[in-house]
Structure 1
Amino acid sequence: MRLDVVITGVGGQGNVLASRILARAAMEAGLPVLTSEAIGMAQREGVVMSQVRMGSGNYGALIPDGGADVLLGFELAETVRGLTKLKRGGVVIANTHNIHPVSVSLGLSQYDRRQLTSFLQESTESLYFLDAAALAEQAGTIKTTNIVMLGALSALRILPYDADHLKKVVLDTIPPGLREINQRAFALGQEAVGGVPKCQ
């Protein structure tokens, strides 16, 4: 099975760690995997885009426009920006939490959440919204936003490995003292898109 995943967001949301967890899970499941990251000014909340290609038959790490099976959007505006990567019929999981760019703070541009949401609804066939930041805070810290998003992705059963395998890799990757919080975050992400965790 092949699956191409694009993860887009801004610096500080754990985008790169999420892509590495997906890739590690694929490798541990015996699948070939290629990854690519464009981090720009990530330290200043700049755009971050990661690409994970799982399965055989991939000859490069970059997913062509219109080629991604899944778009995992960690920030609403960046989800819209990443739509060019999604194939027709692809799945979008979008975090509704907003992180306004500096241009908005300076009054040089506007951030219209309603317009962004409507555009996603009109432009996609399979769309899941969740406030991953709020769920992460519920789990114990907003720093688990990326794990909430991975939990949501796992619940859709479109990965080439099962949710329990991905959760194990998450917990193996996270420092021992943070495992309980991240396990909660993963489960909350699953529940947000209708998945039912087997254990808490």
Structure 2
Amino acid sequence: MTKSILLVGVGGQGTILASKLLTTGLMEAGYDVKMSEIHGMSQRGGSVSSQVRYGDKVESPVIEIGGADILVSFEKMEALRWLKYLKPEGKAVVNDFEIESMPILNGKVDYPKGINEELVEQANATIIDAATKAKELGNSKVMNIILLGTVVKSMGLEEIDWEKIISGNVKEKFIDMNIEAMKIGMDLVK
């Protein structure tokens, strides 16, 4: 049976690195894996999404509307934007984090209020504060690995050797911090 994971965020949040680590771990565990990335204007704070599908035999990397088992959003407005891709019984993990888009920065519109409430009302959504946890670890850049940890736990992928995957893909001086970030993420979801 094929499982579908949708990771969404804003350029610069590490969404693509998280999806590459996830894909590497799934392949090493023997799954057939397909991954598709969409970089909007990622370098300018635009929307970024990564679709990861895995199972015994995966035909397509594309997740259709209503097809994601889990939606992990690195920024809460992106969660709302991509929510229609979540299966009715799917789970959303949302980082309670705001990045203001250009229209907001230019004063044309305000950042929407009540997003978390709307997400919880519309889906099985868990709101987490990965930014604060990352700062407590001493580096806000590990927010993406905390969010990856939520995917690992939510999808029951704890048996994969994530320490090995992280060690092989991040700079040596950041390995321990990233492993700790993964554990924190896993502890943030039930």
Residues 80/176 of structure 1: CA separation in 2 closer, same or farther (3 Å cut): same
SS at match of 2:63: coil
1:10 aligns with 10
Tell me by how many angstroms 1:154 deviates: 2.0
Q: Is the 8 A contact 2:11 2:43 kept in 1?
A: yes
Q: How does 1:30-179 map to 2 (within 5 A)?
A: 30-113=30-113, 115-124=114-123, 126-156=124-154, 158-159=155-156, 161-162=157-158, 165-179=161-175
The RMSD of aligned alpha carbons is 1.5
- Residue by residue over 1:136-158, the C-alpha shift from the partner in whole angstroms, topping out at 9 and shown as x without a partner, is 111121111110001122223x2
Residues 177/131 of structure 1: CA separation in 2 closer, same or farther (3 Å cut): same
Structure 1 runs of 4+ aligned residues shifted over 6 Å read none
- Residue by residue over 1:33-87, the C-alpha shift from the partner in whole angstroms, topping out at 9 and shown as x without a partner, is 0010110110011100100001134321111110000101000000111101111
Q: Give the distance between the partners of 1:127 and 1:118, measured in 2 at CA.
A: 10
TM-score scaled to structure 2, two decimals? Answer: 0.94
Q: Give the distance between the partners of 2:31 and 2:186, measured in 1 at CA.
A: 23
Q: Is the 8 A contact 2:19 2:52 kept in 1?
A: yes
SS at match of 1:63: coil
Q: Is the 8 A contact 1:155 1:163 kept in 2?
A: no
SS at match of 2:131: helix
Q: For structure 1, list consecutive stretches of 5 or more residues without a partner in the other structure.
A: 195-200
Decide which moves more: 133-142 or 61-70: 133-142
* Identity across matched positions, percent: 34
Tell me by how many angstroms 1:164 deviates: 5.1
For these two proteins, the number of residue pairs brought into alignment is: 190
SS at match of 2:161: helix
Decide which moves more: 133-142 or 74-83: 133-142
Q: Is the 8 A contact 1:73 1:95 kept in 2?
A: yes
Q: Is the 8 A contact 1:66 1:87 kept in 2?
A: yes
Q: Give the distance between the partners of 1:93 and 1:31, measured in 2 at CA.
A: 23
